[in-house]
Structure 1
Amino acid sequence: MSSTTRRSRRRLAAALALVLGSVTLLVSSPQQSAQAAPAPPEQALAQWIDRDTVVWKGAEHRAAQLEFGAHGDRIRLTPGSLSPSERGAYPHLAGYPAFTVDPRDRHLAGTALRGKLLAAQRTADGRRTTTGVQIPGVLDDLYGSRAQQAALGPVFGRDGRPTLSLWAPTARTVALELDGRTVPMRRDDRSGVWRVQGQRDWTGKPYRYLVTVFAPTAGKTVTNKVTDPYSTALTADSARSLVTDLDDPRLAPDGWSRPAKPAAVPLSRARIQELQIRDFSVEDRTSRHPGQYLAFTDRRSDGMRHLRSLVRSGTSYVHLLPAFDFATAPERRADQARPGCDLASYAPDSDGQQDCVGKTAARDAYNWGYDPLHYTVPEGSYASDPDGTARTVEFRRMVQGLNSAGLRTVMDVVYNHTAASGQDSRSVLDRIVPGYYQRLLDDGTVATSTCCSGTAPEHTMMGKLVVDSVVTWAKEYKVDGFRFDLMGHHPKANILAVRKALDALTPQKDGVDGKKVILYGEGWNFGEAANDTRFVQATQRNMAGTGIATFNDRARDAVRGGGPFDADPRIQGFASGLSTDPNSSKENGTPAEQRARLLHYQDLLKVGLTGNLADYTFTDTTGHRVKGSQVDYNGAPAGYAAAPGDALAYADAHDNETLYDALAYKLPPHTGPADRARMQVLALATAALSQGPALSQAGSDLLRSKSLDRNSFDSGDWFNALHWNCADGNGFGRGLPPAADNKDKWPYARPLLADPALRPGCATIHGASAAYRDLLRIHATEPAFGLPTTARVQSALSFPLSGKDETPGVLTMRLGNLVVVLNATPDRQHQTVRDLAGERYALHPVQAHGADRTTATASYAPASGTFTVPARTVAVFRRG
C-alpha cells in the first residue's frame, strides 16, 4: 500500500484511567452458555488493561463494577489511577478515568473473562450506565507470559504422534473435529492453551476446532467451527486445516536439505525485483506452468530467461507479492471465472475491457492477496492442486527455481490486518478469541485504517503469531527476506523481535542462517497508531539504525512528480519534464513556480542518492549548507536514515500507476517513444544508483504498463500480466482501466490510450531494458555504491554543482572515482566541475560499450573539467 493510502497498549490504559471513576465489570459465567444472550452493547468503552486496572472512557470517577454470570456476579471497582508503568504501556488512555479492581475480587478474573462481560456504574444523578469491556490487556497479563512460550498448531513428537494446541483463553470449551468425530481438548488454566494429543494415523487428515465462546459482535455465546490460525497445510479454499508435519521427508523436493542458494547480498547493496506470482507467467506462452509456483522452475521460459539476465546485471532478490493463503481467489481452477468477452477486439481506449473484466473480478483467479486468511500456509490458487500439500512442495520448488537462477526470495507479508473480523466466515482469529487479535478503537469497534480489519501486534499473542510465522517461512520454506506491509502499524518492538528470532536461526540447527535474512517494510505514519499514539511504531524515523529498511517515498515523489491521488495526473517531477519540458496542466504552476519546485525536487533526490541520510551535509539549491533532515518533505524531514541501508529507494512498485503509465500522463503528449523510454531509464537510475537497497517493479525495465490502472489489485490478468515477448506489447492500450479507482482520470486517459505512438515497439523496449541493466551492472561492479556509514558517504559523495547556480533538471554527483550526471532535460547539457580540470575521466566502459549508443556519445573535456551528456540521459564517468 502507498504512503498516501495505506500505537501502544500503554497509552490505551493511561487514557482510560482518567475517565473511569468507580466501575463494575459484568461477565457471563460458563454455565450461561445455553441461555439466550441480550443484544450486545453498542460500544465497549471500558478496557480491562491488567488484573488490577480498568479504564472507562466517559465514566464518572466513582464506584463501579464488572458484571458477569447468570446470577449477577460482580467484580468491584474503586476510583484509582494509572501507575507509571501502565501509563507507559497505554499512553492513549492517559486521559480517561481509571479504576482499581478490589483485591477481594481479583480471583474472579479468569471466570469473568469466559462469558458476557459488562462494566456498570450508578452515576451521581442515579442513572445506571453500562458498556462493553475490551479485554486484550488483562488476557495478556493473566496468560501472556506462559502462552508466549507455547508451541501452537500441529507439533509432532519423535514418535510421530501429533499434538494440536490452540490458544483460546476465553472459550468455554474447545474440541477437535476430525474423522467425522468430535475429540475433546484439555485446557491449561495457566496459559489458556487447549491441547489434544493424537495418533500417528492423524497425519494428513483434515480438522477444525469447535470453539464455544462468547462473541460480542453476536451478543451471545456461539460455537464456531474454525480452522487453525497456526495451520501448516489446508484443504482447497481453506475449508479445513490438515495435520501436517513440514519436516516430513515426503514434502521435501530433491536437494531441499542441501540448498544451493546464491551468496547472500547485504540489504545495503540489494537490488530487488518486485513481482506477483500470477503476473509473472500467466500470459507467458513459453511457460509450462502459467500462473503457478512451478513457473519459476521453467528454466527455458521467457520470464525466467529475463530474470537471469537481470541477475547477470546485479539483481539479487525477487520480492513476491503475498503468497500466503488469502481470501479472495477461488483455489480450484474449475471455480475460477473468466471474462466472457473477446477483450482484444475492443479499442485501446474503450470502456468495454474494464466492464467485462469487472463482471468476473470477484470470482476470477486474480488478486494481489493483501487479504490474509492463514498467515503461514502457501496460497492454493498458485498450486497445481490446492487440496493438500502440493502447495507446500511447489512453493519450495519455486524457491529452488529462483535460487538456481541466482536469486534469493523475499516474501511480502501482511500481518497488519485480516480479511475479516467478528463472525464473518473469513474471520479466523476473531472467532477464536473475540476482541483480542484485532486492534480496537476506544469505542470497541475494529480499526480499519489499513483498509481492512486491523490486527494488534502490540498484544502478546498477535505479536507471537507474527514472529512464529516469519520464522516458519524462513526455516521451513527457506525464504530469504520479508517485506512488511504497512509496517508502521506494527510496534517497533515487534519487528525487532522478528529480527532477534531470525538471528537465532543457524545452519547447523535450523538449516538456515537467519542473520542473512533481510527485512524491510512500509514505514508509513498514519491511522489510529500515528505519531506513536499507542506504542513506538515501526515507522521510517523510528526504524533508522536498526538495519531494517523502510521505503523512501521522498525521492519517489520527486522523480515522478505529484501524487497518486492528484485530481490532475499530469503534475510533473524531475523525470517527467517539470519546468524543462512542461505539459499543459495548470496544476504545475507558473514557470517560476515550476523552476523552484524542480530545484527542491533535486534536493530531495540528492538526499535520496545518499541513502536518505539524516546527517549528510550538502549545499542545497538555495546555497545554504543543510543536513538531509533539514530538507523539507511535506512538512517532515526528508532525510531520516542513520546509515545506508535504512531507506529503500524505488521509483515504482505495485501500488499506483506503473512508472511508464505515470510518465504517459506527465510527459507532454508529443514526446516520442524513444524519449519516453529514456526518461523511464533515467527515473529508474535515481534508485538503481543510490546508496542502500533499491527496488523496481517487475517489467519496469520493459516499459511495463497496466493501461493507466492506478490500483490493479483486482483488475485481472488482462491489465496485470507481464509481457516478456515484446511482440505482445507492454500492456499499454488494453482499454480504460477499471472505474473504481480511475474514472476521474478517464478524460486524461482516453486520448493517451488511443495514441498509437505511446505503444512502444520491440526496439524501444529492448533498448530501455538493456540500458537499465547497464546501470545495474555499474552498481554491482563499483564498490563506491556500497558505502557502509554516514561518515564514509559524507567523505566520498558530493554534489559539486549544487547551489544557487545549479542547472534545473540536471543532477551531478561525485562518488569516489565516479561522476554521475542525470540529465532530465530535452537538451544536451554541459556540466563543468572546475575542481576536476586536468583529471582523466571517461565514460564508464559498461556504457561506452553498452546497448545505448546515445549514452555512448557522452564525453568529458579534461582541460575544463566539463562533462557533456545527451538529453534525457544518465551517464556514469570513471576516473582512470
Structure 2
Amino acid sequence: MKTQKTILTGLLAAMLPAAAGAQTFNEADYTPEQTTFRLFAPDNAKTVKLRIYKAGHKGRPERTVKMERTAADTWTATVTGNLMGRFYTFDTGRGECAGVFAKAVGVNGQRAAIIDMDKTDPAGWNDDRRPVVKSPADLVIYEMHHRDYSIDASSGIANGGKFLALTDPKAITHLKELGVNAVHILPSFDYASVDETRLSTPQYNWGYDPVNYNVPDGSYSTDPYKPETRIREFKQMVQALHKAGIRVILDVVYNHTFNIDGSNFQRTYPDYFYRKTADGKYSDGSGCGNETASERDMMRRFMVESVLYWIDEYHIDGFRFDLMGCHDIETMNAIRKAVDEVDPTIFIYGEGWSAGSCALPKEQLGLKANMKAMPGIAAFSDELRDALRGPFSDDTKGAFLAGKPGEEESIKFGIAGAIEHPQVDMSKVNYSTEAWASQPTQMISYVSCHDDMCLTDRLRASIPGITTDELIRLDMLAQTAVLTSQGVPFILSGEEMLRDKKGVHNSYNSPDSINRLDWNNMERYPQVMDYYKNLTRLRRNHPAFRLGSADLVRRHLEFLPTQPGLVAFRLKDYAGRDDWRNIIVILNAAKQQRKVAIPQGNYTIVCHEGKIDENGLSTFSGSEATVSAQSALILHD
C-alpha cells in the first residue's frame, strides 16, 4: 500500500486552491545534514520561533531559532546537523505547540518528534493489503473503544486496552465468528483528556477532544514516551485485522478542537481555523465550545491531506466523520474525490447533523438532508434508530420495540435504505419529510452506538418491568431490522454479549466498570451471540439483503400489508440464489403472536423464535404466516 506518497502533493495541488505561497502540511523536511521547518502562520506575526529539544517531556530547549517569513503566510527555518530523534515546537507568541500536522510526538503530544517513519513499519507492512469489499452494502461495521473491548479480565485478551489487544488471536477470532468485516475504532488520534504520564491511574475518555490529528494516541500504546512505539503498534493492529479480512475505520473529529486557546490551530494561526458568528463570537455548532472552518482553503486542505495521510501511512480503510453536519459540502466532496483517486472502496460516512447552529447556511453543510449532494458518502439513520427504540431526547420513551404503534413507516424507510420507495409514505416518517439518500449505501442502519444508552439499557428504561427473556427477544428483533435492511449495518461492540452500561446515557468519561465488556455474558447468554452470528451470515450469504442499488431495491423490495406493531417485507424475484427467489421478513414487536397474509407458496422457515438456521427450521404451505411475540420470522419459497 505504501505507494501513494509520491502522488499526494500533486493530487492536492490539482484539487485544492492553495493560499498564496502556502505549502502542504509537511512541517519538517529531514535529511541527515539539515532539517527545514515550515509553518503556516500569519504574515503579521511579530515573531515565530522554533525550539529544538532533546526530550519529548520537560527540560529546556537545546536550540531556539527565529523563523523567517519566506512567502505569504509561510515561515521557514533550516537547522543544520542531524536532528533524528530530537523534538521540536513552534511558538508564535501564544504558547508552544507541536504544529498542526505533527506526524510523531512525545508524551501528551506537547512536542513533535523527528523519527524515521519507515522504521515504524512492522515486518511485512509493505505487503499489507486492504481486504476486498466490492460494495459498502457488503460491510458489517462493529464500533468499538479500545478499552471497552479488551480491558476487563474476563476478555482473556493480552495487552488489554491497547492497540496491541487487537492483534491477540482471541480478540480477532471473536470478530470473525461474529461475522463483522470492519471495525470502527473510536478516536485513536492523540487527544487531550487522558494524561499519558499517569497511565497507572485509571483514566477513561472516548477521545473526542483532538490535540494532534495525525498521530496515534499514546494511552493506547505500551510506551507513550517513545514516539515510534504508538505508531508501530497502531500499524501492527491494522495489519493483524487486515490479515483476518477485517477493514479498519477511523473515527475522525475535524469539526472542533479540545479548546481554542490551547489548540495547535490557534497557537500557530489565530482565528484562521475557527468560524465566528456575525457578532464576532466563536460559533459552537459542535457543542464543544468551538467549530472549525472547513470552508477555508487551508482547513479544507488540512482535512484532505490528513485523510490521505492516514490511508497512506496507516492503511486505514474508512472514515467516520464526527458531526459531519458542521463541515461544508464542498470539503466533504473534495475528500471523497481525493480518496477515490487512491481507492474508491474506502468508505466514508458521518453524523448528518451538528450539535448546535453553525455559522454557515444549512444548505452548505453536510447535513443528512443534503446527502444527495454528497454522492459516495453515507450518514446515520436516526429515523430507523428512534423508530425502533425511542427518541434520543427521552430515554424513558419507547417506540416499536416497546409495542407502541405509529413507527412502522419510519422502519420501512430504514429498511429501504433511506431512498425514495413507492410504498414508503414520507408524511409518516420521523425527522425527514423526503428521502435523503440517492443510494441505499448512503444510509447507516443501526439501533445503538457509543454516544447513547446501549440497547439493553434503553429497553430497560423504556419498558418498565421488562424480563430478561423479553430483553433478549427484543434485542434480537432490533438487530434483525438492522441486518436485513438495505443500508450499511452497524453494531455497537458488546451488543452481541447483551452488554449494559448500568443505565448511563453519556459514558464518555465513565470508568471501566461502566464501559467495559463483560465477556462472561458470552456464557450467560450464548443464544444472543449465536443469533447475531447467524444473522450476519444470513446477510452475507444472500445478496438480496444488500442490493446496493436504489433501482434494484425499488424493483425487488415489496412491503406487505400489516397491522400496527408489525412490519413485513418481501425480497422478490431476485436471482441471488436459485433456491431463495423470494424472501419474507416479518418483524413483530407485540406481546402476542400475529398472523400476516403472504403470497401463496411453499415456504422454508429459517428464522423463528430467536433461532436462525439457513438450512431450514421447518416448512409449510399456505398464504398466511404466524410470527411469535416480540420476534422476527424469516422464510423463503
Deviation by residue 1:252-286 (Cα, 9 ceiling, x = unmatched) = 10110100442235223321000001111111452
Deviation by residue 1:642-662 (Cα, 9 ceiling, x = unmatched) = 111111111000011100100
Deviation by residue 1:493-541 (Cα, 9 ceiling, x = unmatched) = 1111111221222xxxxxxxx32211000011563328x6176111112
Q: How does 1:414-425 map to 2 (within 5 A)?
A: 414-422=253-261
Other structure's SS at 1:442 match:
coil
1:228 Cα deviation from its structure 2 partner: 1.3
1:769 Cα deviation from its structure 2 partner: 1.6
**2:363–2:370: 8 Å Cα contact kept in structure 1?**
no
1:689 Cα deviation from its structure 2 partner: 0.8
1:667 Cα deviation from its structure 2 partner: 2.2
Q: Which among 559, 581, 584 is matched to residue 819 of structure 1?
A: 584
Structure 1 residues 853 and 273: alpha-carbon distance in aligned structure 2, compared to 1, 3 A threshold: closer
Deviation by residue 1:554-596 (Cα, 9 ceiling, x = unmatched) = 01010002x2332xx3322111232xxxxxxxxxxxxxxxxxx
Other structure's SS at 1:637 match:
coil
**2:133–2:139: 8 Å Cα contact kept in structure 1?**
no
Uncovered stretches (5+) of structure 2, i.e. residues with no partner:
1-16, 54-61, 573-581
Name the structure 2 match of 1:451: 287
* 2:621 is the counterpart of 1:862: yes
Name the structure 2 match of 1:186: 68
Name the structure 2 match of 1:429: 265
CA distance in 1, matches of 2:71, 2:247: 44
Q: Which among 540, 559, 565 is matched to residue 393 of structure 2?
A: 565
CA distance in 2, matches of 1:548, 1:637: 20
TM-score (norm 2): 0.89
**2:21–2:71: 8 Å Cα contact kept in structure 1?**
no
Structure 1 residues 408 and 183: alpha-carbon distance in aligned structure 2, compared to 1, 3 A threshold: same
Question: What letter matches 2:565 in structure 1?
Answer: G
**1:162–1:203: 8 Å Cα contact kept in structure 2?**
no
CA distance in 2, matches of 1:656, 1:851: 26
* 2:95 is the counterpart of 1:224: yes
Name the structure 1 match of 2:146: 277
Uncovered stretches (5+) of structure 1, i.e. residues with no partner:
1-142, 213-222, 339-364, 506-513, 579-597, 621-625, 728-761
CA distance in 1, matches of 2:296, 2:159: 41
Question: What letter matches 2:433 in structure 1?
Answer: P
* 2:90 is the counterpart of 1:294: no
* 2:215 is the counterpart of 1:408: no
Deviates more, 1:377-386 or 1:237-246: 237-246
Q: Which among 188, 196, 202 is matched to residue 83 of structure 2?
A: 202
Name the structure 1 match of 2:19: 145
Q: Which among 209, 218, 221 is matched to residue 383 of structure 1?
A: 221
Name the structure 2 match of 1:843: 605
Name the structure 2 match of 1:742: none
Deviation by residue 1:333-356 (Cα, 9 ceiling, x = unmatched) = x45534xxxxxxxxxxxxxxxxxx
Question: What letter matches 1:489 in structure 2?
Answer: C
Q: How does 1:61-100 map to 2 (within 5 A)?
A: none
Q: Which among 165, 181, 204 is matched to residue 316 of structure 1?
A: 181
Other structure's SS at 1:264 match:
coil
Name the structure 2 match of 1:251: 120
1:211 Cα deviation from its structure 2 partner: 1.4
**1:678–1:768: 8 Å Cα contact kept in structure 2?**
no
1:786 Cα deviation from its structure 2 partner: 2.0
* 2:532 is the counterpart of 1:663: no
CA distance in 2, matches of 1:691, 1:499: 22
1:370 Cα deviation from its structure 2 partner: 0.4
Question: What letter matches 2:91 in structure 1?
Answer: L
**1:277–1:292: 8 Å Cα contact kept in structure 2?**
yes
Structure 1 residues 148 and 183: alpha-carbon distance in aligned structure 2, compared to 1, 3 A threshold: closer
**1:855–1:875: 8 Å Cα contact kept in structure 2?**
no
Structure 1 residues 337 and 525: alpha-carbon distance in aligned structure 2, compared to 1, 3 A threshold: closer
Other structure's SS at 1:367 match:
coil
Structure 1 residues 401 and 572: alpha-carbon distance in aligned structure 2, compared to 1, 3 A threshold: same
Structure 1 residues 823 and 160: alpha-carbon distance in aligned structure 2, compared to 1, 3 A threshold: farther
1:796 Cα deviation from its structure 2 partner: 0.3
Name the structure 2 match of 1:398: 237
Question: What letter matches 1:660 in structure 2?
Answer: T
* 2:443 is the counterpart of 1:687: no
Q: How does 1:302-381 map to 2 (within 5 A)?
A: 303-311=171-179, 315-332=180-197, 334=198, 336-338=200-202, 365-381=203-219
Question: What letter matches 1:320 in structure 2?
Answer: I
Name the structure 1 match of 2:92: 211
Name the structure 1 match of 2:543: 783
**2:287–2:356: 8 Å Cα contact kept in structure 1?**
no
**2:559–2:570: 8 Å Cα contact kept in structure 1?**
yes
Q: How does 1:38-57 map to 2 (within 5 A)?
A: none
Name the structure 2 match of 1:94: none
CA distance in 2, matches of 1:149, 1:533: 30
**2:28–2:38: 8 Å Cα contact kept in structure 1?**
yes
CA distance in 1, matches of 2:187, 2:213: 10
Question: What letter matches 1:319 in structure 2?
Answer: H
Question: What letter matches 2:214 in structure 1?
Answer: T
**1:857–1:870: 8 Å Cα contact kept in structure 2?**
no
Structure 1 residues 373 and 560: alpha-carbon distance in aligned structure 2, compared to 1, 3 A threshold: same
Deviation by residue 1:682-741 (Cα, 9 ceiling, x = unmatched) = 1111111110211110011211100000000000111001122327xxxxxxxxxxxxxx
Q: How does 1:99-110 map to 2 (within 5 A)?
A: none
Report how many residues are paired: 599
1:668 Cα deviation from its structure 2 partner: 3.8
* 2:43 is the counterpart of 1:175: no
**1:274–1:695: 8 Å Cα contact kept in structure 2?**
yes
Other structure's SS at 2:481 match:
helix
Question: What letter matches 2:634 in structure 1?
Answer: V
CA distance in 1, matches of 2:529, 2:382: 24
Name the structure 1 match of 2:401: 575
